[in-house]
Chains A and B, each alone.
Chain A
Amino acid sequence: MFKVLEKDLLAENIYRMVVEAPLVASKARAGNFVIVRVSEVGERIPLTIADNDPERGTLTLIIQAVGKSTKDLASVPVGGMVKDVLGPLGSATEIGDAKRIIAVMGGIGVAPTLPLLRAYRKKGAEIVSIYGARNKDLYILKDEVASLSDELILVTDDGSSGLKGLVTDPLRERLQSGEKFDLAIAIGPARMMQAASNVTKEFDLPTVVSLNSIMIDGTGMCGGCRVSINGQTKFACVDGPDFDGHAVNFDELIIRQGYYRDEEQHSHACQSLGGEEA
């Protein structure tokens, strides 16, 4: 059993939770995630380790309550217990020597992006962040992103904050202007990662994405999370979740993510599927 120590609502249906898991906290690195099972009847769901505090023995999770399992998790009160937390899973991201980074993020993709920004920041890299949301009320952890970035560009679908449009607009503009970057990080909904990778590919800019395929064990045992990378099958839970965005077959990923859509609705009759998948 793992105790919930803190919980805040960051935006509609998005929560920040601090969970006590000392062993995981002592080993977690940027790029890692955990598998969480809320109760005895629960699913095993993957969640990024957005932050870890080895001294306090805690993990920070950012949860977008989109379906039955994420809603169940979000409803655990402070002081309550989560049945299972397994981790840290996945290959930790290799933090290279990139000096100038352009980071594109959207939705819950902020959670996996933050540890990368922190790690690169520590190495002294200069970071330009482009953060997209449907409207201004959906931004989460904006201050934290700002504090880790030398420049923050906000983009909303409706223009309620920052630029109006898509994150790929300023991305293309900056790259077209001839500005030099060594690396792009693009993490968010699959469609966003695909679009961003298409843009960076035109400019030959290496791009890291974080794939969120459906997972069960998270340890390489079931193959359910498989993705095609340069035409080769990889298991996102052990070979990733971070991959080279230019090598990913995003269309396949998106179709595979949708395989259980009918059952998910059945599992939670009153859920609204309006939100983008994380």
Chain B
Amino acid sequence: MPRRDPQERGTDFVEVALGLDPELAMAEAERCLNCRHKPCVSGCPVQVPIPEFIQLVVQGEFEAAEAKIKEKNSLPAICGRVCPQETQCEEVCVLARRGQPIAIGMLERFVADQASAARKARKEDSSPDKPEKKYDERVAVIGAGPAGLTCAADLANYGYEVDIFEALHDTGGVLRYGIPEFRLPKSIVDEEVEYVKSLGVNITTNVAVGLTMDFNEMLASGEYAAAFIGTGAGLPYFLNIPGENLNGVYSANEFLTRANLMKAYLFPEYDTPIKVGKRVAVVGAGNVAMDAARVALRLGAEEVYVVYRRSREEMPARHEEIENAEEEGIQFRLLTNPARILGDERFRVRGMECVKMELGEPDSSGRRRPVEIPGSNFTLEVDTVIVAVGQGANPMLTTRVDGLELNKWGNITTYDENGATSIPGVWAGGDIATGASTVISAMGAGKRAALGIHEWLSAKRGEA
């Protein structure tokens, strides 16, 4: 994928990946073998008809290609940009074993962008005709992240009246507050949300279900015949090491929310401030950590370290983002674990004491367990620490629903592949059910839940 120059892009929030031009895209599409067994499709959590859409790219039928993808994935412009393709569709592409797999994600992004541009050129809004309301039942969808948005769109297409409730003042969930502009332009999120609204879905922001409205009452009153819970993994984990409450220590959620949702990178045009020192340590090595590190760099940090207790091989972030981060000058301190954060007399971070690690025997996850090397402690001189070691289930709603079964981590227990919960009429999916996962799996869960709800309501109506 062509990308902007690392020097230049490291100072602004404009998208890093440039996208393919039609010539490049068609040439890449030509490489596809159009395999009969379609191994790539089995690697995609929502089974996008990959060879079929790629053949349409070969023929230059970009809008038809987009329509083909949208049979399974209603957010191709987003998934093309943020899916971890190297562990999904591209990993199992037959060409992966003999060199380069087909750049499926890039092609997906390409057709989505082409189709959107073509619609705009025709001054058409992205919406198909508003689906006909076939049923009287209303369905409530809690959370406007990818899971909730997808579920709502499908329910509207089945013919239901759908109300989405979102706690924040804006839609999109992590797509809005977590993933930064330079990786996923918010205009794309806006377009997708507009599409969902154009299907007749009502979205109300500033409603924290469980607090602003009582979920139990919503169902008991009969106002809603069914509900989908897609409230995400919004609870930040900390390290529980000394010094974590010093000024200058952020959770990645706070840091990214300030930067992305509140647009602190445009301070003082926007009112929310953000403080980034000269030397920043980000703890963790997932997508969240890469995003935090790259945002810190763009906000003016001179040195940014990613501190991770395992080795490069185990870094969970998308490969492309690890490469991007490295190119931009982010420094990886691998096999390194924070022991405590040191403060100055004004209670501000002045350093982070770390200990070196080595890989020992494999643990239950099959990965080699990092063990401390005694006496290897050293201090990383930093003035800002961003903790990006994962998020737990958002408890805001789940702890306030009577009879909703949760597992020991607080995730909602689901009983079938569509995400049925312990309460009849209530489905759940996305990060709140699975733990922190991916955009595409959240979307897939939203789609399956919509189907589950439709089947259940149809059966209740006696339509079987």
Contact = CB atoms under 8 A, between A and B. Distances in A.
Contacts of B269: 41
Interface stretch (B59-67, B95-103, B252-260): B252-260
A37 interface: yes
Contacts of A223: 236, 238, 251, 253-254
Given A86-B169, A216-B254, A221-B234, A23 B207 contact: yes
Interface string A254-274: 011011100110110000000
B212 A87 contact: yes
Given A256-B247, A263-B273, A219 B208 contact: yes
A260 B234 CA distance: 24
B347 interface: yes
A37 B275 contact: no
A221 B238 contact: no
A255 B345 CA distance: 11
B271 A224 contact: no
Interface string B257-271: 110001100011111
Contact of A43 (B205, B234, B251, B271): B271
Nearest to B248: A259
A204 B104 CA distance: 68
Interface centre among A68, A221, A233 (most CB of B within 10 A): A221
A86 B167 contact: yes
Interface residues of B, number: 40
B262 A216 contact: yes
Contact of B169 (A83, A88, A233, A267): A83
A226 B205 CA distance: 25
Contact of B272 (A43, A72, A221, A252): A43
B315 interface: no
B455 interface: no
A4 interface: no
Contacts of A259: 247-248, 275
B216 interface: no
B207 A217 contact: no
A217 B178 CA distance: 13
A228 interface: yes
The DSSP consensus for interface residues of chain B is loop
Contacts, number: 108
B394 interface: yes
B262 A220 contact: no
Contacts of B346: 255
B396 interface: yes
Q: How large is the interface on A (under 10, 10 to 19, 20 to 34, 35 or more residues)?
A: 35 or more
B189 interface: no
B214 A224 contact: no
Contact of A222 (B206, B257, B270): B257
A191 interface: no
Contacts of A123: none
A269 B302 CA distance: 28
A39 to B, nearest CB: 9
Contacts of B268: 266-267
A266 to B, nearest CB: 6
A222 B254 contact: yes
Given A41-B270, A266-B268, A221 B235 contact: yes
Most chain B beta-carbon neighbours within 10 Å: one of A41, A72, A219, A223: A223
Nearest to B237: A223
Given A43-B262, A217-B168, A27 B211 contact: yes
A226 B262 contact: no
Interface in B223-252: 234-236, 238, 244-245, 247-248, 250-251
Contacts of B271: 41-43, 68-69, 72, 267
Contacts of B167: 86, 217, 219
Interface string B295-334: 0000000000000000000000000000000000000000
Contacts of A277: none
A267 B275 CA distance: 13
B1 interface: no
Contacts of B211: 27, 87-89
Contacts of A23: 207, 212-213
B22 interface: no
**7 A-B pairs closest in CB distance:** A263-B273, A222-B254, A223-B251, A221-B234, A84-B169, A224-B254, A255-B347
Interface of A: 23-24, 27, 37, 41-44, 68-69, 72, 83-89, 216-217, 219-224, 226, 228, 233, 238, 252, 255-256, 258-260, 263-264, 266-267
Given A42-B271, A86-B168, 8 more contacts: A43-B271, A43-B272, A69-B271, A84-B206, A86-B212, A88-B211, A219-B208, A233-B244
